[in-house]
Amino acid sequence: MPAVPESAILTATIPDVNNMWAQLLFLASKEEHRKGTYLYLYDDPEQSFYYLEKGRVTILHGATNGHVQNMLYMQPGALLNVAHALGSAMTSFLDSGCQFYCLTDVTLWKFPGSLLHDQEFIRSHPAFIENLMSSIGLKLLLMHNTLSNSGTGNAMTRLCRFCLNMSQANGNALELSPGISQTELANLLGVHRVSLLRVIQKLKRDGVLEELTKDSLIIKKPEKLRELAMR
């Protein structure tokens, strides 16, 4: 599996880490879902897992405060719902707070969960199983990073920590492209979009940032940014 850039980890975005599974689509069935569709995959009696061929999907999870937390963003070439397909044989627990949301029109390929428990399939496809397990580890790391960023500090601290990490991930660059919209960033950090916009405007007024959009992050006072991120 090729290395995943740090910027993808910081934006909780899973790139095409499972694209080799496109070779096995003859074992799956095709599904199309429209933008704005919620996918409740946890109660599928077949415990299916899915290959994302086209579009963008996010994993949402309900929080105790009634808000919805964006945990991961899935790009084409990623597998979905693998943990449930693997673990359902050991427990009847259903995480009703977890759901998938289509950020765009989406094309999925549905694999039966039984495939991952088929000893013959596992023996004859070791590279695919290794790829699947490695991607599960990556998802755990990304979810840990998401929870770490959203679980501590106020909106100012969370945003400054994100900007500082993005800078460090790009060789301490002061101008870069985050690749994530303000709405998605607010959801990722666990803050209201209005609160995020308010913080961005304050950082601009204080001369810490010049710009923060999906395509452009410009840092003017890196030391001040670091100070705010460490509060």
d(CA 102, CA 104): 5
**Banded model confidence at residue 68, pLDDT cuts 50, 70, 90:** low
**Banded model confidence at residue 65, pLDDT cuts 50, 70, 90:** very low
- The sheet with strand 38-39 has its strands ordered as 13-14, 68-74, 57-62, 98-102, 38-39
- Given the candidates 2.60.120.10, 3.40.50.300, 3.40.50.2000, 3.40.50.620, the CATH classification of the domain at 6-151 is 2.60.120.10
**Banded model confidence at residue 80, pLDDT cuts 50, 70, 90:** very high
Mean of the pLDDT values across residues 115-123?
95
Residue 11: CB atoms within 10 Å: 23
pLDDT at 34: 95
Structural domain boundaries in the chain: 6-151, 155-229
Would you say the pTM of this structure is higher than 0.75?
no
Is pLDDT above 90 for 152? no
Task: Read off the pLDDT of residues 1-33 as tens digits, 9 standing for 90 and up.
Answer: 667 766 676 777 888 999 999 999 999 999 999
Rounded to the nearest integer, the mean pLDDT of the chain is 85
d(CA 175, CA 220): 9
User: What is the dihedral sign for C-alpha 229, 187, 55, 42?
Assistant: positive
CATH class of the domain comprising 155-229:
mainly alpha
Is pLDDT above 80 for 64? no
Residue 111: CB atoms within 10 Å: 23
The amino acid at residue 83 is A
Q: Identify the weakest region by mean pLDDT among 4-13, 37-46, 52-61.
A: 4-13
